[in-house]
Structure 1
Amino acid sequence: MKQIYFIACALVVFSCKEKEYKAAGNAKELAEAVHTDKEHKGEEPTTPEGTEFYEPVPPKVQPGAKINEAPSDAIVLFNGESLDQWVSAKDGSSAKWHLNKDGSMTVNDKSGDIQTKQEFGSVQLHVEWKSPADIQGEKQSRANSGVFLQGLYEVQILDNNNNDTYVNGQVGAIYKQHVPLAMASVPSGEWNTYDIIYHAPEFNAEGEKIKSGTLTLLHNGVLVQDHVEIKGTTPYIGWPKNPPHGKGPIKLQDHGDNSRVSYRNIWVREL
């Protein structure tokens, strides 16, 4: 009986040692395989200088003097002085939203969406928005608006404070596609910020999508969309579609139900 016990113990020890040897072998193989990275060819450098390079030099950008102020290379789309950078999305006529004395603009109910005159591809976009302090409506009819990238892909704006709705249509959602990681809104009537990093989809000569767009969103400094894949357009009804396209406008939505959403300090950096 003792003999059987010692044999069993020996087998256990051997098995453990075998795993240790295999792990050590795998680690050694992994370390030796590092040089096979396709980007790095030739003899491995033996000094720090061998992995340093000095060109191309990144362009110098002066950040805004204040928080959320546009950096020096940004295109300012709205600074509170005029709506000259915007037109009606319906017919290209002058934007008819309300220009307010405090440097903001407010949705003019049922006047239609507005969009930028200039078209963009991949961008860093900064938008500040607020819902009205005097609450009206509920669910999707409370301070509903949206930011559309290339006129097609919506980042939802909504007053979700004590106002539940379908989560892939709540504030910070990529509409009907991606639920936000958190609900980071400030109290109703206060200013929210959206900072968006957007990479546009790519299409081949035949009009087939060969690379999906991606979007990262920080809502009031909180990461709520983490480099998510844009599956296609963001329709109210139906599946996402992927029509081929190039650059497109940035569009702000008039939801048509007295949303009264206001915007200010909108700027963009082309990527």
Structure 2
Amino acid sequence: MSQQHVLFLRKGLTAICWVMFICLVCGQVHPAAVSKKKVLCVSVTKGFRHSSIPLGEELIKDLGTDSGEWDVDYVRTDEEMAQKMTASALKQYDAVIFNNTSGDLPLPDPQGFIDWVKAGGNVVGIHAATDTFRERPDSPGWAEYRKMMGAQFIGHGPQSEVELLVQDRKHPATKDLPPSFKVTEEIYLFKDWSRDDIRVLIALDKHPNTGEPGDFPISWVHQYGKGRVFYTALGHREDLMRTENYEKHLRGGIRWALGLAKGDASPLPPPSPVTNKEKKQGFRPLFNARDLAGWHVRTEGRTPWTVQNGMLVMGKGGSDLITDEKFGDFILRYDYMIPKGGNSGVYLRGRYEIQILDDFETKQPDIHGNGSVYGLIAPSQFASRPAGEWQSVEAKLVGKNLTVVLNGIKIIDNQPLPGPTAGALDDKVDEPGPIMLQGDHGPVAYRNIRIKPLK
């Protein structure tokens, strides 16, 4: 080839590149047009049929059209499922979206579908997708589907307003959401799930209806073989689905499932109970946020304490929980949450109870109220927060003198302790003793329990 031909080709290629660049800038050619993804939206139901299904179909289509990143095909009938969800037919799709499906779907080749996912097919589940193939009195459902989806729906209470807590601020499905936000929705409850198996993106830290503390997942991702699985329990109420936050959430989840956005699917580590600053100050964790190592119960055979997303959680009918280690002088810090009408307490050296009580509506400090040394010392001022909110305590015990800071407000200032409170482990006031969490008065959760021994 002559030099003139080479020069001509170079000039031609350069011109083509410039034309493509200008087209992209002007919006005439979308960058995803060359490799547009294909999504199969499944809306067949054999159980409850949600009225939000058509809106879900519309939203999935519009999100793909607006971004130019995917086209949508539909399965709305048993006949379409038989045609479009065979092992060979699935090869033309990059993802299958279960749009509020329910019951035992008539998949033509269940194992072929699972094999497709494990080989790299991707799945998105919306709301009742976890009510699909679930165990029922008249059917065992399909365990492998439930494993693929990441959890099994077990029920829900009345629709309620809840505060959603974003657990992963970097994932495409949640990175554009606020750290927490309130929604009114039908909140699903699940079983057969573990944070060791899925990466929870959004969760609640209390029951959506009772307010009892606990870990309740709302949205998650995980890897199933080579396939990506994204699920969101949101999608019952149409007004919620029309919000900007929901569109951002669903768009990001679909983009991640299609491989159009990067995001980690590995399980999140439990939160650290001690900050780096506190470590330098000499604090160390009393509760490792993973298990009950270093603790034992006061009375065996009662409702056990559980560890849920870095929280020590007690329901009803439990026992006090005691550290194996004993302490003399120290600074103790901890957070706690109780539901409406809740009652608990933290015993310093196992003898002096700092009361935990839902007394927010009283607006008055009391010798038996929240933050008091139960029955002995009343707080100098009222500092309680409403039930259902996290509250923080710092207690400094030197000899028999106690200082307590509740929610950033000093309520007991270097006061002498006249003696043990009711429920104490013993009356050996001159000896070191453990930290004890009261667990026999009702639901409570603790987190970020850390201590700094003083010399």
In the superposition, the TM-score normalised over structure 1's length comes to: 0.60
In 1: Cα distance, 2:436 partner to 2:303 partner = 11
In 1: Cα distance, 2:364 partner to 2:439 partner = 19
Change (3 A) 1:168 1:215: same
Change (3 A) 1:242 1:194: same
Q: Given that residues 88 and 94 in structure 1 are in contact (C-alpha distance below 8 angstroms), is that contact kept between their aligned partners in structure 2?
A: no
Alignment of structure 1 residues 1-271 onto 2, 5 Å: 64-65=275-276, 70-71=279-280, 73-90=282-299, 96-101=304-309, 103-132=310-339, 135=340, 142-163=341-362, 167-200=366-399, 213-235=400-422, 243-256=428-441, 259-271=442-454
Deviation at 1:64, TM superposition (A): 3.2
The alignment of Structure 1 onto Structure 2 pairs a total of residues equal to 180
1:203 equivalent in structure 2: none
- Does the residue aligned with 2:367 lie in a helix, a strand or coil? helix
Q: Given that residues 319 and 439 in structure 2 are in contact (C-alpha distance below 8 angstroms), is that contact kept between their aligned partners in structure 1?
A: yes
Deviation at 1:108, TM superposition (A): 3.7
For the aligned residue pairs, the C-alpha RMSD in angstroms reads 2.8
Where relative contact order (Cα < 8 A, 6+ residues apart) is larger, the structure is 1
In 1: Cα distance, 2:428 partner to 2:371 partner = 24
1:18 equivalent in structure 2: none
Partner deviation per Cα, 1:117-155 (whole Å, 9 max, x = no partner): 1110111000100112xx2xxxxxx21111101101111
1:264 aligned partner, one-letter code? R
Q: Given that residues 99 and 106 in structure 1 are in contact (C-alpha distance below 8 angstroms), is that contact kept between their aligned partners in structure 2?
A: yes
Comparing 154-163 and 70-79, the one that deviates more: 70-79
Q: Given that residues 350 and 435 in structure 2 are in contact (C-alpha distance below 8 angstroms), is that contact kept between their aligned partners in structure 1?
A: yes
Change (3 A) 1:262 1:71: farther
1:64 aligned partner, one-letter code? T
Q: Given that residues 64 and 72 in structure 1 are in contact (C-alpha distance below 8 angstroms), is that contact kept between their aligned partners in structure 2?
A: no
Structure with the largest fraction of helix: 2
The percentage of aligned residue pairs carrying the same residue is 30
- Does the residue aligned with 1:169 lie in a helix, a strand or coil? coil
In 1: Cα distance, 2:428 partner to 2:288 partner = 33
Deviation at 1:65, TM superposition (A): 4.1
2:331 aligned partner, one-letter code? Q
Larger Rg: 2
